[in-house]
Amino acid sequence: MKLTTPVPVKPQDPKIDHNSKIFLLGSCFVENIGEQLDYYKFQNFRNPFGILYHPLILEQFILRAEKGFAYTEEDIFFHNERWHSFAAHSVLSDPEKDRFLNRLNEQSLKSLEFLKYATHIILTLGTSWVYKTRESNEAVANCHKLPQHNFHKEITSVEELESSLQSLISSLKRLNGSAQIIFTISPVRHLKDGVVENQQSKAHLISALHQVLNIPEAPAVYFPSYEIMIDELRDYRFYAEDMLHPNATAIRFIWYKFITAWCTEETVNILKEIEQIQRGLSHRPFNKNSLAHQNFLSDLKNKIELLISQFPHINFKEA
């Protein structure tokens, strides 16, 4: 008896291992996958401007990074005792203007440098709905709690999304022609837009993205995180309490499907070793001075040193 509908995931190349450099950009699902990459000590750099939901905003970020765009006072504004930018999430906002501008430019420069040497670029699309300023019709990454009358909300057409995605891919290819681009659509439900509107939004993303990908010698590939969530994990027990975000079990399941597609068996075995080390580091003994615990620490130290001898960039002090 089958109680679920498995979503097939084909093995992919080039494989991801601990020598890979992974750049991630997009919705909050990027943070979920990024946390798994951190836990298992993969080299990654994610969401330098915070969470970005819409393809137009991702395109803008990458194009500006490619051109070495410098953010100035004209690109920021002061509201509620903090400086903000319509190009970035409020997580970067700051009460000090100069510090905020430095942060924007530093993050943009770091992104450019990382992208040049990235082996894999993961882009997660969240929504087709976008807010634009009434004054300039500029698409914004975040409204920063400004009065809603400053914006108008619209859904981006499939055609405009397709054009934006093609521009985004072209920019990435100019920066790094050898990096593997991986697209995924966030399984997070944007019910503030409305139930029907959320489905319409995801449909626009799916249609536009596959128009771009379903061509000969497609410049990128697709990972079905959205489909895994709504089909293979079709049950509210896989959602967090808000009934919008995947819970820890769902994230781990999607992560497992991801590494099955993108990692070799050797890398998967290394992940198991890292998980043992991580559990060991979080272990709280009843008696720190016991011989058993000292032997345990010695064995743990040996495992860490052996792993670091293979991958010197790994650092468990950050765990």
Mean pLDDT calculated for residue range 37-54 = 97
Strand partners, 152: 132
How confident is the model over 125-141, as pLDDT tens digits? 999 999 999 999 999 99
Mean pLDDT calculated for residue range 45-65 = 97
DSSP state for residue 18 in the 8-state scheme: T
Contact 173, 109 (CB under 8 A): no
Q: Which residue has the higher pLDDT, 168 or 218?
A: 168
Would you state the pLDDT for residue 26?
97
Per CATH, the number for 21-263 is: 3.40.50.1110
Would you state the pLDDT for residue 283?
84
Count of CB atoms within 10 A of residue 154's CB?
13
Would you state the pLDDT for residue 296?
83
Contact 225, 187 (CB under 8 A): yes
3-state secondary structure string across 104-136: HHHHHHHHHHHHHHCCEEEEEECCCEEEEECCC
Question: pLDDT at residue 98 above 90?
Answer: yes
Mean pLDDT calculated for residue range 144-152 = 96
Q: CA geometry: angle at 223 spanning 13 and 30, to 5°?
A: 110
Contact 33, 51 (CB under 8 A): no
Which two structure tokens, joined as six digits, stand for 297? 């620490």
User: What distances in angstroms separate CA 59 from CA 56, 116, 130, 172, one per listed residue?
Assistant: 5, 17, 13, 10
Would you call 282 exposed, middle or buried from its count of C-beta atoms within 10 A (0-12, 13-18, 19+)? exposed
Global pTM value:
0.94
Which two structure tokens, joined as six digits, stand for 244? 């919008």
Contact 20, 94 (CB under 8 A): no
Query: Mean of the per-residue pLDDT values for the chain?
Result: 94
Residue 199's Cβ-side half-sphere holds a number of Cα atoms within 13 Å equal to: 3
User: What distances in angstroms separate CA 268 from CA 9, 36, 162, 307, one per listed residue?
Assistant: 16, 13, 35, 14
How confident is the model over 117-126, as pLDDT tens digits? 999 999 999 9
The residues spanned by each domain of the chain are 21-263, 265-319
User: What distances in angstroms separate CA 151 from CA 20, 125, 134, one per listed residue?
Assistant: 41, 22, 5
The type of residue at 197 is E
55 closest CA partner among 21, 25, 85: 25
Would you state the pLDDT for residue 318?
58
Q: What whole-number distance in Å separates Cα of residue 58 and Cα of residue 183?
A: 12
Q: Can you tell me whether residue 185 is helix, strand or coil?
A: strand
Count of CB atoms within 10 A of residue 195's CB?
10
Would you state the pLDDT for residue 1?
72
Question: pLDDT at residue 40 above 60?
Answer: yes
How confident is the model over 266-291, as pLDDT tens digits? 999 999 999 999 998 988 888 777 88
Instruction: Evaluate the CA torsion angle 11, 17, 19, 23 in order and state its sign.
Output: positive
**Residue 144 host element (H or E):** none
How confident is the model over 237-248, as pLDDT tens digits? 999 999 999 999
How confident is the model over 60-76, as pLDDT tens digits? 999 999 999 999 999 99
